[in-house]
Amino acid sequence: MVFWLILLVVIGGLAWIRLAPSDPEVWHVDPQVTADQDMATGVRRRIPAGEDTLERLNAIILATPRTELLAGSVEEGHLTYVTRSKWFGFPDYTTIARKDDVIELWARLRFGQSDMDVNRERVEGWLSRLGAGA
């Protein structure tokens, strides 16, 4: 009996992680990046913005597996994406915003205490591809 109860709790928890709604009012916020930061829960980056940098970065992000746009648009200059992990579907949120000649990025986890550098590696990969296309 205890085994089945534990199994039910685990399955319910995994279902919640995968199916929990992503409220744009909670996640689509101003990144407020004043400096590059590596944190246990994510990363913040500031990069110079050329004329088409936001459009190119948007295309790179949307080409990432299991990533979709949650809110915003290139025209607004403010976008938030959800990227889910392959096996369990853990959501990570990335918000980018163009502010004059700078693009601010804030990538962070939703569940847990540490993202094990997943967001840092993902953002660095995006920025690497962005630089390669410059």
Domains of the chain, by residue range, sit at 23-132
Residue 35 has pLDDT above 90, yes or no: yes
Side-chain half-sphere of 97: how many Cα atoms within 13 Å? 13
- Separation CA 111–CA 23 (nearest Å): 14
Residue pLDDT, tens place only, 57-89: 999 999 999 999 999 999 999 999 999 999 888
Note the pLDDT of residue 133: 58
pTM for the full predicted model: 0.91
Mean pLDDT, rounded, of the chain: 93
CATH fold of 23-132 reads TATA-Binding Protein (3.30.310)
C-alpha angle 56-117-63 in degrees, rounded to nearest 5: 25
Q: What is the DSSP secondary-structure string of 37-57?
A: EEETTEEEEEEE--TTHHHHH
